[in-house]
Structure 1
Amino acid sequence: MFTESQIHLAMVFLKMFLRDIQSMLFNLFFPMAFIGVFLFTGGDPDPIKVGVLDKAQNQLSRSFTSLLDQDNTFDVVEGLETDLSAQLIDGELIAIVEIPEKFDYENQLGKLNLILDASQVRQLDGIKDSIEKTLLSIERELRGNEAMFSLEIVDMKARPQRYIDFLIPGLLAFMLMNLSIAGSGFNLVEYRRRGILKRLFVTPIMPKDFIISIVLARLVIVLIQLSVVLWFALLVLDIQLTGGLVSLYGMIMLGSLVFLCFGFCFGSVAKTQEAIRPLVTSFTFPQLILSGVFFPISSLPEIIQPIAEFLPLSVIASSLRGIANDGLSLLSFDLNLLGVVVWLIVSFFLATRYFVWRDVAG
């Protein structure tokens, strides 16, 4: 399948890549740092700290305070008016619920005061809704009425999914993009600067041997580094992987080929490291924001979504997410797989169009 010279040259390039320990550690540190930042995101939110100023001191006010305290949305603090006001001004409380002296169900005196700075409270609607829900519960209890309607959430996927399960496939896609472009694009420019390409040009090595060797060596690096992150997520973070590892690694290799081809294109166009950096940044940075690595593409403005969904990183991240979270296989034909194939064809065309052995070596 591969010639002896291709394998030998791939081993040489692999040794050169492995000598750059700092780069490898940084490439691992970056996604690990993101995992650390977002690890606890998506869990239960911290309770909203509210004060209750009970001026009525009757059975109804005590029932309201008790039910409000049972709501996990709130962390209820009772106290005097001066103490609660001072805590609200200092930012220790989000709001104060004032129960007036005339708080009486029988005389239809059930009006509460919600004291806060509305311009500073993002959860105003949520606080108001929760308090109204608590008041409704008290009213039903006093009237002896059962709720007429109830809402039960049914998960069609019948499995729990945390934010970290959503995040990991996107991070893997982002990692393989950076590693692949750096492996072909930046190294191509560096080999030209050091005269390595010029020396290879006068040897019997064919251009295809050089390209295949770079691809093989970089695929090994990509698979090693992504495996570290993936198995850390599986064993330590206990992420859900419903698809097969074979399909996942197959998509990783396809995605790596896409970005390796883009890297060859960038490395052929740019002649120096100073020239290739802004070129690569303009290609990768918008995709980091728009490709659904950290949040769903559906949360973007509607006018941007059609463009964002067809970006190279988007289709690869969505394909990895489909395998990891939805149980798809590499052979499951969908629009994401079609997008990966299209981008592979486009990137291969650009790489062969701009990678001219004589020009690149010179």
Structure 2
Amino acid sequence: MWAISKATVRAIFKSPQAIFFSLFFPIVLIMVFGALAGGGGKGYDVAFDAKSDSLNEVYLRIKSSPLLDINQANEQELMDRLKKGRITAIIDVKQAKGNTASQYEIHLKSTSASQRDLPAVRNILNGIINEATAGAVSNKVAFISEEVIPGRPYRMIDFYLPGMLGFSLIGSAVFGVAFVFFSLRETLVLKRMFATPVRKTFIVLGESLGRVAFQLTTSIVLILFGTLFYHFTLAHGFVTFLELLVLSFLGIAVFMGFGFIISSVAKNQHVIPIYANLFMFPQYFLSGTFFPKGLLPSGLQAIINYLPLTALNDAMRKVSFEGMHLLGVGKEITILIVWCLVGYSLLIRIFKWE
């Protein structure tokens, strides 16, 4: 029994899958969700109206709240961000007028594009009012009024569908390419292909084009499904649809390059999922796939924004909902192109045919 126990323990610690799913993956989840629960993130994006009374206690409490990230820009820029849903509300703190027992009025200006986080911001402001009122007077020191500017309605599908597109593309490209090419080498299929007049380059291109065609078809199905059944926003209709396919193609190209790299460095099929997940899982949770990346600690933001899946998710959301064209997401496209160049430059050096 003791010998079996020792052998079992030894086998578990020699298994990359066991180490990954029993240790590494849970640690990643604990770190991510622990960071969310522990605070330290940027909070919800809001801005102050230029006409706000900045000398009163309520204003100062709102400004110092760690749950609110105060954006600063000129009035035109703030309105543009508000209409695109990048900030939740513009806050105007002023002396209360009319027949009211409160001393101040907190006026929230929002749009139909910024309704997702408005209830949370409203609750934060109510908490600030309660703290300012406690032990002072019987009536609340301030009350909240709201103004909603008509605009493009923001639905949760407008956040989640681009994230799910990125999720699908990275998983299919990395896993698909890594397993297929490793299998072709291991089963000596590539060696048999070398006996034919087909050039090596065309072997890679043939596999790549077939996978691109499949994944673009998947993107088309997901976009149409979200549009028809959940009213996913395509700001410029068919033009936006085509621009999303261009971004999908660029994302596929990046992710396939890393799939080829993994297939070249893997010693056996058992380690492919480990290498693939090491590349993919951090991006799943850090790149705004399932929840806004702004909720993560601010220290991570500088790194997160340069991940390839972050660039793809951000570009798709800006194109689909905000109505930007490809030239408007030049920064995100540049990040993807740089990752593409880095990946394929490394691939040229390490790719194995046998």
- Shorter-chain TM-score: which interval? 0.5 to 0.7
Give distance in 2, aligned partners of 1:152 and 1:223: 43
Report the counterpart of residue 178 of structure 2 in structure 1: 185
Residues 308/333 of structure 1: CA separation in 2 closer, same or farther (3 Å cut): closer
SS class of match (1:152): strand
For 1:361, give the aligned amino acid: W
For 1:336, give the aligned amino acid: E
SS class of match (1:338): helix
Report the counterpart of residue 26 of structure 1 in structure 2: none
Q: Structure 1 residue 278 and structure 2 residue 270: aligned?
A: no
Give distance in 2, aligned partners of 1:129 and 1:283: 42
SS class of match (2:227): helix
5+ unaligned residues in a row in structure 1: which ranges?
Answer: 1-122, 137-142
Residues 333/172 of structure 1: CA separation in 2 closer, same or farther (3 Å cut): closer
- Return the offset for 1:333: 4.6
Q: Structure 1 residue 200 and structure 2 residue 193: aligned?
A: yes
Q: 1:260 aligns with which of 256, 261, 274?
A: 256
Q: 2:169 aligns with which of 149, 169, 176?
A: 176
For 1:161, give the aligned amino acid: Y
5+ unaligned residues in a row in structure 2: which ranges?
Answer: 1-119, 134-138
Deviations 1:104-139 (A, max 9, x none): xxxxxxxxxxxxxxxxxxx9x959949x99xx9xxx
- Return the offset for 1:219: 0.7
SS class of match (1:268): helix
| Preserved CA contact (<8 Å) 2:173 2:256 | yes
| Identity score, percent | 32
SS class of match (2:327): coil
- Structure having the higher Rg: 1
- Return the offset for 1:192: 1.5
| Normalised TM-score (structure 2) | 0.57
Report the counterpart of residue 293 of structure 1 in structure 2: 289
Q: 2:336 aligns with which of 335, 340, 362?
A: 340
Report the counterpart of residue 214 of structure 1 in structure 2: 207
Report the counterpart of residue 216 of structure 2 in structure 1: 223
Q: Structure 1 residue 269 and structure 2 residue 262: aligned?
A: no
| Preserved CA contact (<8 Å) 2:219 2:245 | no
Report the counterpart of residue 246 of structure 1 in structure 2: 242
Give distance in 1, aligned partners of 2:267 and 2:197: 24
Superposition misfits of 4+ residues, deviation over 6 angstroms: 147-150
- Superposition RMSD on alpha carbons, in Å? 2.9
| Preserved CA contact (<8 Å) 1:297 1:309 | no
| Preserved CA contact (<8 Å) 1:189 1:273 | yes
- Return the offset for 1:193: 2.0
Give distance in 2, aligned partners of 1:193 and 1:181: 18
Residues 314/126 of structure 1: CA separation in 2 closer, same or farther (3 Å cut): closer
| Preserved CA contact (<8 Å) 1:173 1:316 | yes
Give distance in 2, aligned partners of 1:333 and 1:288: 21
- Return the offset for 1:153: 3.7
SS class of match (1:361): coil
Give distance in 2, aligned partners of 1:258 and 1:337: 11
Report the counterpart of residue 146 of structure 2 in structure 1: 152
Give distance in 2, aligned partners of 1:163 and 1:292: 13
| Normalised TM-score (structure 1) | 0.56
Report the counterpart of residue 350 of structure 1 in structure 2: 346
For 1:211, give the aligned amino acid: V
SS class of match (1:326): coil
Residues 127/306 of structure 1: CA separation in 2 closer, same or farther (3 Å cut): closer
Residues 268/205 of structure 1: CA separation in 2 closer, same or farther (3 Å cut): same
Q: How many residues align?
A: 222
Give distance in 2, aligned partners of 1:128 and 1:307: 31
| Preserved CA contact (<8 Å) 2:261 2:350 | yes
Q: Structure 1 residue 322 and structure 2 residue 318: aligned?
A: yes
Give distance in 2, aligned partners of 1:149 and 1:259: 51
